[in-house]
Amino acid sequence: MISDSYYRRKYVISGMAIVIVFVYIIRLFYLQVIDQSTKDQADNNALVKQTIYPSRGLIYDRNGELLVFNQPIYEVTMVMREMGPKWDTLAFCKCLQINREEFDERIKEIKDRRKNRGYSRWTPQVFMSQLKKEDIATLQESLFLFNGVQIQKRTLRDYTYKAAAHVLGSVGEVNQKDIERDDYYTRGDYSGRDGLERTYEAQLRGEKGVEVLMRDSKGRMQGSYHEGELDQPARAGTDLYTTLDIRLQVLAEELLSGKIGSVVALEPQTGEILALASSPTWNPKVLVGKERSKNYNMLLNDPTKPLMNRATQAMYPPGSTFKTLQALICLQQRAITPNTLYPCSGPQSTPIKCTHHHGSPVALDKAIEQSCNPYFWCAFRDLLQKDGYGDENEAFRHRYELWRNAVMEFGLGQRFTDTDLSEQSAGSIPSIAFFDKYYGKTGWKAITIRSLSIGQGEILATPLQLANQAAAIANEGYYITPHLNRNDSMRIHRHNIDIEEKHFAAVKEGMHMVMVNGTGRHYAIDSLNMAGKTGTAQNPHGKDHAIFIGFAPVDDPKIAVAVVVENAGFGATWACPVATMLMEQYLNGELKRTGLKKKISESVLNESVKKW
């Protein structure tokens, strides 16, 4: 009888053989079905998958004027494993007019997996990008000498106008975070970095295509594989039609030349942004091409901060422009009526002096027309003290909270969250908690915060918010969220303000009288029936800021405007003429006050503002 130990050994050996065969089967299945790397390597010997980059969507203004288009550029890619020992580096450098040191540095960056995490010797790596046709002409003629090198056609942004840089934004190379966040991108791709280019990146970028090429054993291209049956065409990006009026935008930037400030113009009934200008600005062309990085760093280090969009990010005390809201809220909360009279002693008034000499006492319309500080302090005081102070200051603090909520209904003190404007500051309408922290619950009264009554103190607003405030008054109680995409159904983004429609008549009449008899009269155009309010915002760091808000025509508003000129002094001197010229241009289709335009646009209020 065969020994049991030998008998059992047969089964052990058989089992081991079965296990080994099974492991090999699993491994072959994994390599051939699940893991494509081996197949990819084999395919890469015969097939080349070349990405076809789509044309980026064009950008137009509201009237169909082309603002942003594409120009062809080229990039040079290389597959490292195909660059054999006989590869002529010096000849390659000569074709691209670079030196050996630059070549070595670029190769080092490509192989650095910290900077290029997607590096593979088997796939094309970007060696040089953003080259013009003349830059690659010599290489194209000698391409057959350099195994693994391809020339890829791309597109680069170009601009019809030297305007709207902050609004349009720019396109730049993606970083590693972009690649990790969205698998659409690979190293060397471009995406919108700011402005509309960033907000509508998914719409503008389109979809990549693929062209499969075949090559022989010597690496020479033999044309499309199987007559292009594996090719996938690229899909161009979708065009974007903006709300901008480019003629108005250009005018706004010209008028701000040599100044630090901003302009926002809106169509009140739709919330469409007609112009959004910030100064200093730059020609959008400077952030295109090989000079982009150098120019961006220069802009970044400019002490006047041109990269900051002052129209949406800078915050200022609104000054006397805030009196229009103060009037509406006091009317709504029954602290005053249009006929309520308050005394004014001009510069001798206390605790807030008036900067104008006019009759006394004054009613609401005259107070707006003459920008009477004591009137609005008295109205604010009576609103807050309407129910007395109460135990622990509760009645007063409650009235303040009602007032603050009413102010914020106009869009102040918060970002617009339902808009395509990504770069915004919230501004500030101080809360009860803010004053409690500094004074304690019972330590602050109406007199403590009197500067709020005239738009000073802790109140801060952006020019965008001020323009929206003007639009809400023009609409007599609502606003549509300001936006830049004209195809958006933004009309549903309507924000109703809890102020009775009848109260707007008195405020609008006062703003109209500002342009007839008040501080804005010198720059009004009678035929346009303008309404406005000038402001001079105190600035602890230098000369006061000039501010203006307004709209026209009064009976059927088509445009609302806010202008801020930093360190310029009175709003009536600088901000008001800028705003009225924008109204004239938009409503009449032309600007006849060419002398005024020349004077304002050529006036340099800040010598440090550079032209980019």
The pTM of this model reads 0.85
Contact 424, 262 (CB under 8 A): no
Phi-psi group of 212: left, alpha or beta (phi > 0 → left; psi -120 to 50 → alpha; rest → beta): beta
Question: What residues in the chain have per-residue pLDDT under 50?
Answer: 1, 42
State the pLDDT at residue 148.
83
Q: Which residues are registered as beta bridge partners of 483?
A: 272
Q: What is the DSSP string of 169-229?
A: --EEE--HHHHHH-TT--TT-EEE-SHHHHHTHHHHS-B-EEEEEEE-TTS-EEEEGGGGT
Distances in Å between the Cα of 261 and the Cα atoms of 44, 165, 229, 564 are 56, 15, 57, 5
CA distance 76 to 104: 15
Could you read off the pLDDT of 421-478 as tens digits, one per residue?
988 999 999 999 999 999 999 999 999 999 999 999 999 999 999 999 999 999 999 9
Domain boundaries, the chain: 4-35, 48-162+208-241, 246-282+309-602
Spell out the SS3 assignment of 544-586. Answer: CEEEEEEEECCCCCCEEEEEEECCCCCCCCCHHHHHHHHHHHH
487 CB contacts (<8 Å, ≥6 apart)? 240, 241
State the pLDDT at residue 29.
65
Largest CA distance in the chain: 133
Domain 246-282+309-602, what fold? Answer: Beta-lactamase (3.40.710)
CA distance 140 to 364: 76
Could you read off the pLDDT of 239-278 as tens digits, one per residue?
999 999 999 999 999 999 999 999 999 999 999 999 999 9
Domain 48-162+208-241, what fold? Answer: Penicillin-binding protein 2a (Domain 2) (3.90.1310)
